[in-house]
Amino acid sequence: MIIGYIEDLRKVVGKQPLILVGTAVAILNERGELLLQKRNNGTWGVPGGFMELGESTEEAGRREVLEETGLEIGKLELVGVFSGKQHFVQLPNGDEFYPVTIAYVTKEITGGLLKADGIETIEVKFFNVRQLPDGLNPLIKNIIKQFIS
């Protein structure tokens, strides 16, 4: 998590919109099921988050997956880059940002134990890609469509 970096930026720019780069990682198990995480705001999505300074997008993706789900993953395949005004986010505190999300997919679970971190993630579960849960993060829906196509 880059709270320190974003907080430092906010001290300079205030509430002005930022462009923030992050990753999203679709993890498929041996049955082709998609791992989703339920965030503490009640929405479901794929693991991911913002990059830290000096980190590659692949490193950020692996770090976020480990932190949020307890899983270690291998090879990442690029799905696409998602950006634009349709992804604009305004947080409850008034902060605004436009994410640039680099999306990956992997079928390589190399270690770890599946568990929610209890901070950002309150539940983690594999779902059939044709039977995804209600409450799917609207910003992630388009990305998931690309993952499963």
Q: Per-residue confidence of the chain (149 residues) as pLDDT tens digits?
A: 445 788 888 899 998 999 999 999 999 999 999 999 999 889 999 999 999 888 999 999 999 999 999 999 999 999 999 999 988 999 889 999 999 999 999 999 999 999 999 988 999 999 998 899 998 877 677 777 776 66
d(CA 84, CA 19): 10
Is 66 exposed, middle or buried, given 0-12, 13-18 or 19+ CB atoms closer than 10 A?
Answer: middle
Residue type, 26: A
Q: Which residue has the tokens 């309150």?
A: 122
d(CA 44, CA 113): 20
Residue type, 9: L
**Homologous superfamily of 3-148 in CATH?**
Nucleoside Triphosphate Pyrophosphohydrolase (3.90.79.10)
User: What pTM, to 2 d.p., does this model score?
Assistant: 0.89
